[in-house]
Amino acid sequence: MQKSESTSSLGPGGLDLSEAFFKPIHRAAPPSPTKRHTKISVIGAGNVGMAIAQTILTQDLADELVLVDAKPDKLRGEMLDLQHAAAFLPRTKIHASVEYAITAGSDLCIVTAGARQIPGESRLNLLQRNVALFRNIIPPLARFSPDTILLIVSNPVDVLTYVSWKLSGFPSNRVIGSGTNLDSSRFRFLIADHLDVNAQDVQAYIIGEHGDSSVALWSSISVGGVPVLSFLERQQIPYEKQTLENIHKQVIGSAYEVISLKGYTSWAIGYSAANLARSILRNQRKIHPVSVLATGLYGIDGGEVFLSLPAQLGRGGVLGVTNVHLSDEEGQRLRDSANTILEVQSQLGI
């Protein structure tokens, strides 16, 4: 499929009409070669990929947005639909192709592509098909954009982030999984709802696997700078641990509920991925719970494993992992979560 892009060569013989519309001012210098042109490529034009693309456009995060998908007709339709909204959006060039060469020179590649589960198919078989799919996605991305940062959104995100790291040959700081960034947002929302405060004033993390073995860091939750559990203990205000566990279970079940109601999740993960893209490309050095190479951290050993930890993100990708305090129980649950992921990887033979 041929890519489509805006062009000023509309005159006879391809004459560049921009020269007729605009006159140069005197004593002007040519554009600075140091001005950064930001290019983001989104792999997979399904519900999640398009939600991410739309959010990137509305938040003005890129000068150039590229869409890649295996279905040329749908891909062209999605591209045209976004291009037709140009009058309502910040100026961004939008391209699309089934060929990975179009991604060349990307600053950030966001991978959302994944195989759909066949009725009756085991989770392991689905994962094996996704790994096979990634063998055709990650190497060309790395070849055409050797300095890019890979942001993996496809599920199971922790295992596929590890697979992407191995297939790309990139340093670990330039391969990131969306991990529990969205889980933590859901967690903050539920806590804020219980306490009737703004979710932005809640500091709370879900770490570990993006899945059933995730770990809620209750010991470090704060609201408006006040550590919640220690405050309750000092004020001798009783609380039930089961109440806390129920909130965590709601976080784990949130995606399943949305899927049961509308068939898929899209908008929340779209905002989550755009949030990560902003921190990376704008070098904001913000802390996000994302899937990173966790081996050697918090007593995690037994093999190379990616799981979510609070990490500082910037232009170099993962700049570091915060040394957040974990209770003994939280530390053990995190290590158990790591072992859960390692067991899946061992079944895959990777």
Q: Tell me what pLDDT residue 20 has.
A: 64
Read off the pLDDT of each residue in 37-44 and give the average, rounded to a whole number: 97
In sequence order, the 6+-apart residues with CB closer than 8 A to the CB of 303 are 295, 342, 345
Name the percent of the chain lying above pLDDT 90: 63
Round the average pLDDT of the chain to a whole number and report it: 88
Domain range summary for the chain, segments of one domain joined by +: 36-114+122-177, 180-347
Read off the pLDDT of each residue in 106-111 and give the average, rounded to a whole number: 98
In degrees and rounded to multiples of 5, residue 242 shows phi and psi of -65, -30
Amino acid at 111: V
d(CA 34, CA 21): 26
Place of tokens 């392991």: 124
Query: Which of 37, 84, 95, 210 is labelled catalytic?
Result: 210
Greater pLDDT, 18 or 94: 94
d(CA 186, CA 222): 15
Q: Tell me what pLDDT residue 221 has.
A: 85
The two structure tokens encoding residue 223: 């609201």
Containing H/E element for 329?
helix 328-348
Q: Which of 77-91, 135-149, 218-232 has the lowest mean pLDDT?
A: 218-232
Containing H/E element for 147?
none
Read off the pLDDT of each residue in 193-222 and give the average, rounded to a whole number: 90
215-216 and 206-207 beta bridge pairing: antiparallel
The two structure tokens encoding residue 314: 């910037």
Read off the pLDDT of each residue in 177-204 and give the average, rounded to a whole number: 91
- Residue burial 60-69, b: 16+ Cβ < 10 Å; e: rest: ebbbbbbbbb
Q: Tell me what pLDDT residue 194 has.
A: 84
In sequence order, the 6+-apart residues with CB closer than 8 A to the CB of 284 are 278, 313, 314
Q: Do domains 36-114+122-177 and 180-347 have the same CATH topology?
A: no
CB 165 within 8 A of CB 317: no
d(CA 153, CA 273): 8
Let me know if 210 is a catalytic residue: yes
Q: Tell me what pLDDT residue 259 has.
A: 87
Task: Please count the residues of the chain.
Answer: 350
Q: Tell me what pLDDT residue 245 has.
A: 81
Distance of CA 27 to the CA centre of its chain: 45
Q: Tell me what pLDDT residue 31 has.
A: 62
CB 43 within 8 A of CB 112: yes
Q: Tell me what pLDDT residue 226 has.
A: 82
64-68 and 317-321 beta bridge pairing: unpaired
Judged against a pLDDT cut of 60, whether residue 41 lies above it is answered with yes
Judged against a pLDDT cut of 90, whether residue 161 lies above it is answered with yes
Read off the pLDDT of each residue in 109-114 and give the average, rounded to a whole number: 96
Q: Tell me what pLDDT residue 33 has.
A: 60
To the nearest 10 degrees (0 to 180), the angle between helices 267-281 and 47-58 is: 50
Binding residues: 44-49, 69, 130, 153-155
Containing H/E element for 143?
helix 138-144
Q: Tell me what pLDDT residue 69 has.
A: 97
Read off the pLDDT of each residue in 264-287 and give the average, rounded to a whole number: 95
The two structure tokens encoding residue 292: 């990173």
- Of the CATH numbers 3.40.50.720, 3.90.600.10, 3.90.550.10, 1.10.10.10, which one belongs to the domain with range 36-114+122-177? 3.40.50.720
d(CA 1, CA 21): 32
Q: Tell me what pLDDT residue 12 has.
A: 54
Judged against a pLDDT cut of 50, whether residue 3 lies above it is answered with no
Q: Tell me what pLDDT residue 275 has.
A: 96
CB 4 within 8 A of CB 83: yes
Binding residues for NAD(+): 44-49, 69, 130, 153-155
Greater pLDDT, 293 or 218: 293
Round to the nearest angstrom and report the end-to-end CA distance of the chain: 34
Read off the pLDDT of each residue in 146-170 and give the average, rounded to a whole number: 96
The two structure tokens encoding residue 207: 């770490």
Task: Name the pTM for this structure.
Answer: 0.88
CATH of domain 180-347: 3.90.110.10
Read off the pLDDT of each residue in 144-149 and give the average, rounded to a whole number: 97
CB 108 within 8 A of CB 148: yes
In degrees and rounded to multiples of 5, residue 283 shows phi and psi of 50, 45
Q: Which of 25-39, 311-325, 333-347 has the lowest mean pLDDT?
A: 25-39
pLDDT digits (tens, 9 = 90+) for 261-275: 998 889 999 999 999
Give 30's DSSP letter. P
Give the three-state DSSP class for 74: helix
Q: Which of 23-37, 94-108, 183-197, 264-278 has the lowest mean pLDDT?
A: 23-37
